[in-house]
Chains A and B, each alone.
Chain A
């Protein structure tokens, strides 16, 4: 089961950015969005797990917090960019998968 998780994680990490082609992840800004979102979601997931919340609750909490931070960043920017939010979502998924895979 554990090795299966690693395979899925590897596939997501490798193929998710490639799936969007040159339009999205060639931009430095989007890469930053992805990276920061992954860090926030993985960190918040680990925090909730350390607070003895269930895995499901931790995932949901992590999604809410990462969405909040991503939205806040868009509000601070001069204009809303939906591609930034897409990058945030993919980063969030990647971060969560990291947390779940390593069973934090």
Chain B
């Protein structure tokens, strides 16, 4: 569903949030669906998991944010905390743009896309024993501003890797920047 929304909105829109940025802090609350990525002819079935995650972002450059992310699965089997970067992509996935490009693209479309990466420590509950492991997560986010300049609906698609396994994560949530 998230991918569908992303594809539908892919045509004809440009960055909104990245052009008007005077904000410092952003907060996001996201509900995620996690699916195991299978390679080759693996026949083992895996259950879909759900998780709740929050992200706190501090903008230190016009298009860059330092983010602190924390996630916990709804079955309480895994929780993470990590640190990373989020970078706005002016227009849809317009990589390599300059500040001048941002200024030229001051069409007020209420959509912003960004890429992000964070890494940290994951506490995995394996049969009652808590095992600590490193994790990485990277992906793309699309924020749709809900007729105002503070709050947005955020959707994301990302790849999450922990203990040698990779998962596809898609999520929807609510965010605000101020």
Contacts and interface: CB of A to CB of B under 8 A. Distances in A.
A, B in one complex: yes
A68 B146 contact: no
A60 B52 contact: no
Contacts of A48: 150, 178
Contacts of A79: 76
A64 B150 contact: yes
A53 to B, nearest CB: 6
A63 B28 CA distance: 11
Interface residues of A, number: 22
Most buried by A among B146, B150, B174: B150
A60 B146 contact: yes
Interface string A1-44: 00000000000000000000000000000000000000000000
A78 B27 CA distance: 22
Interface in B14-54: 27-29, 52-54
A57 interface: yes
Contacts of B151: 57, 60-61, 63-64
The majority secondary structure among interface residues of chain B is strand
B2 interface: no
A80 B175 contact: no
Contact of B27 (A54, A56, A64): A64
B145 to A, nearest CB: 9
A71 B178 contact: no
